[in-house]
A and B are shown apart, each in its own frame.
Chain A
């Protein structure tokens, strides 16, 4: 169950304690996140909302090991991320985190297959094993018939599906989605949300998502608002409160 008061147990997948992030800008200290606590369990789907500049993306970057906090700690599946060196953090990201960006960020000169294969090139899997993993991931996102297409030959929704396939191909511990539907029309956005929900329900994936769209956020188990650098629980879906865990 998602908690923001620091009362979660150590058996949570993600434990964030006293997290702070401060930027210096023109000699001024900007406290983006302040003593933030968060506990997320395996298989939960959490949406973060908040006004621009409230620190949503900063929080996601910290959770994904892309940035280092000014204070506090983040522990994921028992590993304290905040104490890792830069190179350790890179290895940790490869094993544990799947990223989905708003602008897809696919490599335009690689096919869908090659884009999805990228994280697997860092593993010891054989070529045949990599092929099998990539085909499975593309099948999960419904793009088995677009394997050899380049990004420019795909629609926005399809590109985002490839990004999701790339994020799940190495079976990471959790997915971080930064405005995954921000660049899509409503229909495509709905399809992407259906896909993310399916990953949570059918594959027990943990998804942490930043969004500006209340309709999108409403699809998640829990919506948390970032206000003045701290998280406030804004809404828990019916299934969550009644189901306990979700």
Chain B
């Protein structure tokens, strides 16, 4: 039965190992393929799962990633921290008026914050219309900016290329409409030599596409250096005066804010006489579609556009797309276009007043939201996630409840559908979004809909309760697996224990057969002979001779029985000196000091590990036992010699010796096996009539490791397997 299962076990083990190896290989290949060079974004397939946002409001639309927030230092990072010399290229556009957009290279230690990363930033800044380049390390050091021909303008696409080779960083910027170019290059020593890549915007929104990273060559750097006006160590001015001088020399008056209304007209024509300014709240109480009106408000959502002032919020319809950022404060001229529950303004012109205005969501209850009082306003609502689904276009819909209302939360154009997995049904969520009452929400049985701007608007306050089905499964499955593993190990250990007991019993049976049983048989034979002699009346001097012989056999048997019993005593564990322990054993075995025992030591004593000491004791014991029983020796010498890396133990006697044969006895085999277990070499030298020397050379030993244990088990199993095979073969032959 055992032999039939063994191939199956082997196959199962092999298959398991192969599967584990293949899985590891696939994971490694996938990981390195994801972050190996060359790298190209997968925005076109609507995926940005390998990108990690730090601040900002990032969305993915039509192969372009947008940050519609004017948060300073918003970052989106990807790549491997081990990327070293590479060229990064990206097309980018500024959404907004004052600020800069760019890319970061060799990024490390990134977290949310303005300059909260270690690496280099290369960007286009509108204030100076320049290509800027500098170093961040939770602080900012800027090198000499380079004027961008034609300026840096919103809604214009530029191509930025950065080459990083060693401590040399070079950059080119190209206006994709006009072809105008700017070059910048600098060296920093010491420098950041490797790191990830990322997109970054400062105080304005931006759009990026066609992002690629590939290995860089020195010739690429040299090509940029040939065009760059100044090359060398960057001037990171320490003094404000120097910094001011650096900019003034090249950019003069561009630093002074200049507000020209036409620059800030985002949509439509410059309106003539302006209609009266009204509050957004007042739009609800009027129904005069033709009446021109003017409102001011902060942009709270860009697609579709929602704005709000201190009184209320409103949806804004536009004919053409408008580049707006969240937080832009705008003036809208248009007319009312109310539809159903929703107030709408049809905009004829939109003018940016200023940006970076904080719109704080109002924390309200779901019933207040359902009442319509906060329609089109930015609100904060908490609720439980009942269910979720993703629509074909990637829109995520969360169906939520609280004590009194059911409502939906909608997230469009998120960076990666993987964020969907973060929100588990049963979780307690806090959602920031535009509260909208409308037919679509009502059709779903929900009181209202919250339109969110990015995944950051949805915060998990508490995960689903631990007793939910999937969680219980997640706890139970590992527990069951652990239990099964424990049970398996327990059974294996019990089996090994039982085998060890049986093996020892087998050894004892052999020894008893060889000694006691044969001795008793001999005694019985002698007694039987004596009885026959007494019956036949032939008992004379022979009887006394036979009685003497029987007494000798009884004495011999007694000695052997004593030796056997002594051998079972665990004297090796008693912590005594090895030679003293063996001497004590020999004395007990002989029951008298009849055999001279010589103990010899040489070299500097060295501590022996327990397995080595035990092995030497057991070998010595077996050898002494053999000498006493069969050797007829006059003297036994026990010798222990400490060498630099090994200990040599010898048992020498001057007995009758024996002829060494290929197949040795049970006792010698046991000695060999014990020596193998501690990597010791054992040699037996015996010449008939001249005595025997048993020599064991063993390393001092080290702590037994799992590997040793496994090796020992493996050897043992292999030996057993071979034994079984040999026995089976012998049985077949027989």
- Our verdict on whether A and B bind, yes or no, reads no
